[in-house]
Homo-oligomer: A and B are copies of this chain.
Amino acid sequence: MILNSDISVPAGSAGPADPSDGRGMAARGLLRSRLSCQAFDPRATLSRAAIEGLIGAAVQAPSAFNLQNWRFVVAHSPNSRSRLKPAAYGQEKITDAAAVVIVVGIEPVSDAFSALMNRDEEDGRLPASERERLDRQIGRSYSDPCAGKAEAIRSASLAAMTLLLAAEADGIAACPMSGFDPAEVARAFALAAGETPVLLVALGRNADPAQVQKQRRPVSAVSSFA
Residues of A near any B CB (own CB < 8 A) = 1-3, 5-10, 13-14, 16-19, 22-32, 34, 36, 41, 43-53, 55-57, 59-62, 64, 66, 68, 70-77, 80, 83, 98, 116, 119-120, 123, 125, 141, 150-151, 153-154, 157-158, 160-162, 164-166, 168-173, 176, 178-179, 189, 198-199, 204-205, 209, 213-217, 219, 221-226
Contact = CB atoms under 8 A, between A and B. Distances in A.
Contact of A226 (B6, B27, B189): B189
Given A22-B26, A25-B169, 20 more contacts: A2-B53, A5-B47, A6-B50, A7-B45, A8-B46, A9-B41, A13-B41, A19-B170, A19-B171, A23-B26, A24-B171, A27-B27, A28-B166, A51-B225, A62-B176, A68-B216, A116-B222, A150-B198, A154-B157, A165-B165
A44 B179 contact: no
Copies in the complex: 2
Contact of A125 (B71, B171, B215): B215
